[in-house]
Structure formats: C-alpha cells, structure tokens
A = this chain, B = another copy of it.
Amino acid sequence: MLELVVQQGIQATPMSQVVKESGVAAGTIYHHFSSKEEIINELYLNLKIDFGKALSEHLTADLSYKEKFFQTWLNLYDYFCENESAFHFAEQIGHCTMITSETKQKGEIHYLPIVEFFAQGISQNVLREMDLKLMTNLIYGNIVTAVQITLSGDLIMTKDRLYSVIESSWDSIKKH
C-alpha cells in the first residue's frame, strides 16, 4: 500500500486517489494511519531505508576509497533514476511541512554508514576537512542535480557525462 502512494508520487495526491488505487476503503486506511501526514511520514521513513540499502550495494572490500565513493554515488543515482517517483517524492518532502523533525531524525539513522564513510575519508586524509553535514549535503545535491537533468530529458546523460559529474563531485571534497 505504501508502495502505491509512492508510485502516485506526490503529497499533492488526494487521498481519494490513494483510496481508489489502493483498492481499500477510506475508512480502512484511517484504521491504520491516523492522518495523511502519518502516511507521508511512514513513506518517508520507508524510502530512507530503501535509500540506505541502495547506498551500500556493490561495495566490496577490494575497492579503493575513491572507487567506493564512485560506487556509492552511482548507487544513489541509479536508484533515483530507476525509481523516479521515489525521487520526486523525496524532492517534494524537502519543501513541505508534513514531515516532522522527529521523522527526519529517524530517517537520518539510515544514512549513518555514509556519514561514517565520509568521516573515515577525512580522518584518513583522503577527504578535506569539512563539516560532515555540509559535505554530505553537497554531494547529495550533486547527485540530485544529475538525476534532475537525466530525468528532464534536456540532456542525454551519457556515461562520459555522468563520470565527469562524479569526478567533479569527487574533486570538490578530495584532499588537494
């Protein structure tokens, strides 16, 4: 059911549509969730879990730090491109007041491995000194930009272009 709402995409989706697509009655939904806000928060959390999972794929021990960075970057990029509605949902979440700060905090847990990964990079002198929040958001922003351009269709995202962007990302945080 949560999946369905994600596929709908937006928090702008009326509950009436959710009801129709989910195949259950309005009352039934409100048996499980106290409000639309709760559904959105639940969804948000589920997505964060998915993101967390996606991020750590294909990260074998034999990869160098930079290679791991590239793989992680690509993991999120691919996930968003393949789950367009999840991406748009995540995009909209940022600009709506429906997500409680409590939920946001809960969601960040799933990003801890990444934050940890960046922290390691800094302590190992592979990445430059920078506030972790700043650094992670900067890179996340880069990925979002790449996904936006890819999905908009304004530009065909060739492999060359994509790797050039990742390289940019890397250069922006790597130790000089």
Chain A residues within 8 Å of B, Cβ to Cβ:
10, 12, 88, 91-92, 94-96, 128-131, 133-134, 137-138, 140-142, 144-146, 148-149, 154-155, 161, 164-165, 168-169, 171-173, 176
- A133-B154, A138-B165 known, 16 other contacts, Cβ within 8 Å: A10-B95, A12-B96, A91-B95, A94-B148, A128-B168, A130-B161, A130-B164, A130-B165, A130-B168, A134-B161, A137-B149, A138-B168, A141-B144, A142-B142, A168-B173, A171-B176
Q: Which of B10, B12, B141, B154 contacts A142 (CB 8 A)?
A: B141
A91 to B92, CA, bound (A): 10
A165 to B176, CA, bound (A): 14
Please name all residues of chain B whose beta carbon is closer than 8 Å to the beta carbon of A140 when the two chains form the complex.
145
By DSSP majority rule, is chain A's interface helix, strand, loop, or mixed?
Answer: helix
Please name all residues of chain B whose beta carbon is closer than 8 Å to the beta carbon of A94 when the two chains form the complex.
91, 148
Q: Which of B10, B154, B171 contacts A172 (CB 8 A)?
A: B171
Please name all residues of chain B whose beta carbon is closer than 8 Å to the beta carbon of A146 when the two chains form the complex.
134
Please name all residues of chain B whose beta carbon is closer than 8 Å to the beta carbon of A148 when the two chains form the complex.
94, 137
